[in-house]
Amino acid sequence: GAGVSQSPSNKVTEKGKDVELRCDPISGHTALYWYRQSLGQGLEFLIYFQGNSAPDKSGLPSDRFSAERTGGSVSTLTIQRTQQEDSAVYLCASSPDGASNQPQHFGDGTRLSIL
């Protein structure tokens, strides 16, 4: 497809387990963002990738969260030793080059539930 693809769409796991969430941005988009959306809340910025530059990790809530982007395309968000408060929808978005006048293109998110 031509849009941002995220997998899995749903993930249920036990507290303490590690999880990996995947994002496939629109082809050619160099800017990639991860957000967290807790129930009834707005978007919480997590991390931003732009091309081959060092990512902006300023939104990651703890050192249990990490992300990488391989080859400037697919990104993986990893949460280690999951906690119940990590339960949320994780959204990925991309834009052509991160310019402030560019709208973001969002995937449908991964709904993460920690038991």
Partner 1 sequence: AQSVTQPDIHITVSEGASLELRCNYSYGATPYLFWYVQSPGQGLQLLLKYFSGDTLVQGIKGFEAEFKRSQSSFNLRKPSVHWSDAAEYFCAVGATGGSYIPTFGRGTSLIVHP
| 42 contacts partner 1 (rule: CB under 8 A) | yes
| 56 contacts partner 1 (rule: CB under 8 A) | yes
Please count the residues of the chain.
Answer: 115
DSSP 32-99: EEEEEE-TT---EEEEEEETTSPPB-TT--STTEEEEEGGGS-EEEEE-S--GGG-EEEEEEEESS--
| 43 contacts partner 1 (rule: CB under 8 A) | yes
| 101 contacts partner 1 (rule: CB under 8 A) | yes
| 51 contacts partner 1 (rule: CB under 8 A) | no
Please tell me the distance from the alpha carbon of residue 102 to that of residue 37, in angstroms, as a whole number. 21
Among 38, 41, 62, 83, binds partner 1 (CB under 8 A): 41
Q: Which two tokens stand for residue 63?
A: 């050192």
Instruction: Determine the size of the site formed for partner 1 (CB under 8 A).
Output: 24
| 48 contacts partner 1 (rule: CB under 8 A) | yes
Q: Tell me which residues touch partner 1 (CB under 8 A).
A: 4, 31, 33, 41-43, 45, 48, 50, 56, 59, 91, 93, 98, 100-109
